[in-house]
Amino acid sequence: MSKEDVKNVEKKDEFKYFSEQFADLKIIRYKVPGFDELSLSQKKLLYYLYNAAISGRDILWDQNYKHNLLIRKTIETIVKNYTGERASDEWQNFMVYTKRVWFSNGIHHHYSMKKITPSCSKDFFIQLIEATNGFDLQGKFENKYKLGEFLLPIIFDPDVDGKRVCLDHGVDLVQSSACNFYEGVTESEATEFYSFQTSPNPDEPLSFGLNSKLVKDNGEIKELVWKVGGLYSNAIEKIVYWLEKAVTVAESNIQAAAFEKLIKYYKTGDLATFDEYNKLWLKDTDSIVDVINGFIEVYGDPLGKKATFESVVSIRDVEATKRAQLVSENAHWFEWHSPTDKVYKKEEIKGVTAKAINVVMESGDCSPSTPIGINLPNADWMRADYGSKSVTISNIVSAYDEVSKDSGALKEFAWNDDEVQLSKKYGTLASNLHVDLHEIVGHGSGKLKPGVADPGETLKNYASTIEETRADLVALYFAMNPKLVELGLMPSIDVGKTEYNAYFRGGLMTQLVRVELGHNIEESHMRNRQLIAKWVYEKGQANNVIEKKVRDNKTYFVINDYAKCNELVGDLLKEIQRVKSEGDYEAARNLVENYGVKVDQELHAEVLKRWEALNIAPYGGFLNPVLNPVIINDEIVDVKISYPDSFEWQMMHYTEQYSYL
């Protein structure tokens, strides 16, 4: 074989992480290391959990907005059946809109929460309707023209249901939000409804409202529970079908028992059963295959009660897990060396387990946009009494790193080459350690003051931001601690400095590329990052801890004193833990509104201009692998994994194979 032949083989075999880019989004592919080495039983388990994950996809679409499924079916019918010209600019604009809707699981931006409006014209949309057949009229519309007439204002008018989740102070959060968790009720009515709910065991309060829609029917407020025989039954029945198959190939009795409890929860909708499932899931620490499947996170509800559907199917990353386990084994040390008040520290850290994983499938609120770390369960009492599981998602972090290599963003916003070289040397390790400390120590630390209700009750619309702020502050505080060097988690404090550079650069500048000019910050994680960065910057100005510098009409933020910066991080962590522990709503509101929400519009305009020149999409999401069983004589004899490269194909495939609502 010639050198040229070898070169061509290498090119053919090279895995391409980048798929495509449109609007403010890039689509990335990820690999699943170790899949081929799994046993047949483990592969079958992954295949069943993979199907259970996708089966719940439609639920999220409907949770996000009541017309999302109708809109998705309409635009996908156009994509499939449109008989007109597909090379025009108008068609390309329509396809960009379609892909944006697919990416966000609905017509509201996955991060900003604002409605996405098409760049194509209303007239062209009507033309699409006219030149397409096969619409699902759902018995609600006389003909396709009535369907189009109904959808026009919903799709094109930015003021009609313009924001999916509204967290603005001083408005009715429920009525100002387009999410589909409430119908016909006000914020005060919803709050009052749940104030009368009491748990059989006060020490283990149930997460009331987690798995239901609250509606007013003939003047009576009631819950529509998401369960078999209830709301979303068709999709949940399919989830249960695949989970029942998973029981037959579970890796252990504990894992099988957890699956069975999850199945019971889906069948009954009983929240106590969900807690029992979580306890069993926490005990399952030895399985290679793991899954998150259910109504989990409450970021999509302005009141922080109702959870969106999500699923993450994964296998353990054995090597990277060693790092995460080392952090969890020292969780008690971190807790007691935190600057928070002693009265709000946990006397004992129970059941904190940590691992790194490689995801095989993500669905619902974890796809296409995905977290890079997870810590569950969310209930504070369960974390305190039964512990938590923390994961860092190795192959997602790796894929992000691959597509960001030499993007130019670091060089554009870093002050000097020393900062750039430090990031290139330690950036990936610094990021991984931040995720580990955030998920394992941050979310697992601290306790509430006796008698203080769940933060969702006390801190309300600021609860999520305060919790993410707390977890990030824990990670930042210990990033500069010599203990990490002593444990062998990092070679020197330079890793911590690398993380500080990246965090404050991002919190003060680069994350603003995700915000439309003239607007403030809406999303909880973004609010959290700016809150920390602006607070530390402001409090350190007297000592020039973080200096704002301008060179060639470009702004930079440079850390002059890392030790003092770390001290200020500790001061804020102490206050944030107090706010959460005491349920201090006013303090939470002041911190978030004064530091996390408002944007320096002049700086924002500058950042957007500099970023535009780089041609980098600020958001990334992922194509999932496809699992295909090899069947002989009605028996699965193997499961093959493949990696699609078309976002359009994957979205249409999911609709064709997994539409249950």
Classify residue 632 as exposed, middle or buried by CB count within 10 Å of its CB (0-12, 13-18, 19+). Answer: exposed
Instruction: Give the DSSP letter of residue 115.
Output: B
Amino acid symbol at 328: S
Given a contact cutoff of 8 angstroms between Cβ atoms, the answer to whether 512 and 599 are in contact is yes
Give the SS3 label for residue 161.
coil
Summarised one tens digit per residue, pLDDT across range 531-542 is 999 999 999 999
What distance lies between CA 570 and its chain's CA centroid? 26
Could you report the average pLDDT of every consecutive run of 10 residues in the chain (661 residues)? 37 80 96 97 98 98 98 98 96 98 97 94 97 92 95 97 94 97 98 94 96 96 98 98 98 98 98 98 97 97 97 95 92 96 90 91 98 92 92 92 84 96 93 92 92 90 95 98 97 98 97 92 94 98 97 97 98 98 97 97 97 93 98 97 98 98 97
Give the SS3 label for residue 632.
strand
Amino acid symbol at 226: W
Give the SS3 label for residue 137.
coil
In the block, residue with structure tokens 């001290």: 567
Summarised one tens digit per residue, pLDDT across range 45-65 is 999 999 999 999 999 999 999
Nearest partner of 440 among 594, 333, 570, 358, judged by Cα: 333
Given a contact cutoff of 8 angstroms between Cβ atoms, the answer to whether 458 and 447 are in contact is no
Beta strands in 23-141 (DSSP E): 25-29
Structure tokens given for 353 = 């387990």
Structure tokens given for 559 = 């850390």
CB count within 10 Å of CB 20 equals: 15
Give the SS3 label for residue 18.
strand
Provide the terminal-to-terminal Cα distance of the chain, rounded to the nearest Å: 55
Q: What pLDDT score does 13 carry?
A: 56
- Between helix 40-55 and helix 57-64 the angle, nearest 10°, is 30
202's CB contacts (< 8 A; 6+ apart) are: none
595's CB contacts (< 8 A; 6+ apart) are: 530, 531, 534, 535, 538
Given a contact cutoff of 8 angstroms between Cβ atoms, the answer to whether 116 and 101 are in contact is yes
Amino acid symbol at 44: K
Given a contact cutoff of 8 angstroms between Cβ atoms, the answer to whether 395 and 432 are in contact is no
String of DSSP letters for 343-410: GGS-SS--SEEEEEEEEEEEEETTSSS--SEEEE---HHHHHHH-EEEEEEHHHHHHHHHHHTT-SHH
Q: What pLDDT score does 11 carry?
A: 43
Instruction: Give the DSSP letter of residue 453.
Output: P
Q: What pLDDT score does 401 carry?
A: 87
Taking the model in full, what pTM does it have? 0.87
Q: What pLDDT score does 138 carry?
A: 83
Half-sphere exposure of 572 (CA within 13 A, CB side): 34
Do strands 373-376 and 635-642 pair parallel, antiparallel, or not at all (unpaired)? Answer: unpaired
Given a contact cutoff of 8 angstroms between Cβ atoms, the answer to whether 28 and 617 are in contact is no
Given a contact cutoff of 8 angstroms between Cβ atoms, the answer to whether 303 and 190 are in contact is yes
From CA 99, how far away is CA 376, in angstroms rounded? 31
Amino acid symbol at 533: A
| Helix, strand, coil percentages, rounded to 5, for the chain | 50, 15, 35
Amino acid symbol at 640: K
Nearest partner of 212 among 271, 282, 132, 252, judged by Cα: 271
Structure tokens given for 341 = 């008040």
